Structure 1
Amino acid sequence: MNYYYLLVALPSTKDFQEKAFLDIERIQAFILEHLTETDKQAFRYTLYRNDNKNLLSILKKKYNWMENPVISFHTPAAFSYQELESGIEGFFTLPKYMQEFLSYEKEQYKGSETENHLIRLYFQEASELENPFLKSYFEFKRDIKNVLSAINRNIYHLTNSSSFLEGGLVYHLLKNSTGNDLRVLESYDFIEEMQSLIQNKQFIRIEKRVDEILLKFISSYPILEPFSSDAVFARFLQLSIQYRWLKWEENLGLDHLNQSIEWILKSATMPNENSAEIFT
């Protein structure tokens, strides 16, 4: 499918940097309106990151789990608050990984163990997508998540490997390594930088650095067809990452973001466990 007219109509990343366009939900709706049904299904996986957070927030409130008093409903998202509520009750069809998660975890909360279970199922399903760009993107993101989990284990001398996401070279290197040896990850040039940031609890800088790594991956990915669905997905991911930081900086402020991340870490009993919400 040729999406020339769709891509031409979308704002560029430069437009976003100049704050000319900030309505990411309008952009999301416009993209969904013009994609084929198959591409719509794949595109939604770029949104589920926030749906996962929203689902956990609703469950925390509904079943008296811990509730974040700072973070509101996350966008862009595939589902509304009402749709997620209906999905929890079985009256609305949610993605298979969410259904599987709810069948095991709906009425119990075990801190980061519960959150990691949802994220693990999400990445497992996303890494099986047929779209080559999204498949590669989620596999790369999974590897970054595992690298960060390994650094966290190394700093705090943890032995539990349940925070690792299964699949990929990084997972197998870490699984077969002795103890918390990070030398198996020497091909990643940001290891020392991330060690310092995590050790000093520089949460905002960690988030920004991860997004910089993801943006670099997206911009360097070899998209063979310039007007393909791959190009649409890549553009939206770039815009949504930029939007996230513009939203925090303009509307809520970095102090608000810091409070939010600090709450997530406290709810996950850091440093003994790492919340899945931080690096996804």
Structure 2
Amino acid sequence: MKYYYLISSLPDISPHSDASKLDFDDLFDTIRRNLNKEDRRFMRYLIYPNDLNNLLSMLSHEYRDTQTVHFKKPSIFYPEEIKAYKLTRRNFPDFMNDFLSENEDRLATMSLREMEDAMLDRFYSKVFSLNNHFLTNYYKFVRELTSLTAAFHFNTYSFLSQPNIHDADRLILQVGPDRSPSAMVIKDYPYLEELIKVLSKHQPEKTERFIDSVIWNYLDDTTEGAFSREAVYAYAVKLQLLQRWLKIDPKPNNEDFEKLLDKIINNNPTEKTPTL
């Protein structure tokens, strides 16, 4: 199906767009309302990672006594539904409900990393079973990018345990500050050498921005059809990238960001930050 009217009505965006001028709630609502039933169902899988992050944040608050619950938007479920997850979980998709059902007796003893890994395993399994070309390729790309970053960090910070990542044996052996990736690995991941340079600077904000730029470029290079359903999906992902940076862009008085930055730069051990 072609979405001529929808895409032509959406504002042009780029990595340098002034995100403060965008009404994200309205844009996501416009996209949702103008998709057919099947495409709207697939679109949910580009939003579910925020729901997973919100659930993880809620579990951290409940079992790790974190003071603040950060809810990401856009999301499929309202904050009230996530907060009442014990009562509402049957309304969640199977991969979320199954995670909660299978781990309800051990949530109090699970680390956030264990929770996140378990959630992601179920989520990826579900996504890849959908046989949607865009979703399969996009999440394979994201998983690979995350795996490369995790391998580098594991070989940089001694307090990190071995990550549960795709192609772990090869990547952990070759990706790190004192390691040289083989020509085959560089061929498989053309952006790897630049990623290593950015990661080696230990500047989290620049690293995250670079990773987002890699994702943006991937979407530009692989999305076919200016008015296709894939173009709508890619636009929704790009909107989320812009929205994320609008919210976490550091300001001089952003004490939380400065504290987090100081911990990372000085290798101060802390439990793995969710990467959903």
TM-score, with normalisation over the residues of structure 2? 0.80
Q: Which residue of 2 aligns with 1:81?
A: 79
Q: 1:179 to 1:235 in 2, by over 3 A?
A: closer
- 8 Å Cα contact 1:98/1:118 also seen in 2: yes
Q: Which residue of 2 aligns with 1:6?
A: 6
- 8 Å Cα contact 2:7/2:227 also seen in 1: yes
Q: Which residue of 2 aligns with 1:242?
A: 242
The residue identity in structure 2 corresponding to 1:121 is R
What's the secondary structure of 1:186's corresponding residue? helix
The residue identity in structure 1 corresponding to 2:220 is S
Q: 1:103 to 1:205 in 2, by over 3 A?
A: same
Q: Which residue of 2 aligns with 1:168?
A: none
Deviations 1:238-266 (A, max 9, x none): 122122212333xx73746735855997x
1:17-166 alignment, distance < 5 Å: 17-19=17-19, 21-61=21-61, 63-67=62-66, 69=68, 72-90=70-88, 92-106=90-104, 107-108=107-108, 109-156=110-157, 161-165=162-166
Q: Take 1:111 and 1:237, find their aligned partners in 2: how far apart are those partners?
A: 25
Q: Which residue of 2 aligns with 1:258?
A: 257
Q: Runs in 1 of length 4+ with deviation above 6 angstroms?
A: none
What's the secondary structure of 1:40's corresponding residue? helix
Q: Which runs of 5+ in 1 are unaligned?
A: 166-170
What's the secondary structure of 2:173's corresponding residue? coil
- The count of corresponding residues between Structure 1 and Structure 2 is 262
Deviations 1:113-170 (A, max 9, x none): 22222223223322333321122111100111111121122224689544214xxxxx
Deviation, 1:83, is: 2.2
The residue identity in structure 1 corresponding to 2:228 is S
What's the secondary structure of 1:43's corresponding residue? helix
- 8 Å Cα contact 2:186/2:193 also seen in 1: no
Q: 1:50 to 1:178 in 2, by over 3 A?
A: closer
Deviation, 1:54, is: 0.9
Q: Which has the higher contact order (CA 8 A, sep 6+)?
A: 1
What's the secondary structure of 2:64's corresponding residue? coil
Q: Take 2:89 and 2:263, find their aligned partners in 1: how far apart are those partners?
A: 29
Q: Take 2:124 and 2:64, find their aligned partners in 1: how far apart are those partners?
A: 24
The residue identity in structure 1 corresponding to 2:64 is W
What's the secondary structure of 2:63's corresponding residue? coil
The residue identity in structure 2 corresponding to 1:104 is E
Q: 1:30 to 1:235 in 2, by over 3 A?
A: same
Q: 1:39 to 1:16 in 2, by over 3 A?
A: farther
Over aligned residue pairs, what C-alpha RMSD do you find? 3.2
Percent of residue pairs identical? 23
Q: 1:15 to 1:190 in 2, by over 3 A?
A: closer
Q: Take 2:211 and 2:85, find their aligned partners in 1: how far apart are those partners?
A: 31
Q: Take 1:261 and 1:219, find their aligned partners in 2: how far apart are those partners?
A: 32
The residue identity in structure 1 corresponding to 2:149 is L
Q: 1:248 to 1:160 in 2, by over 3 A?
A: closer
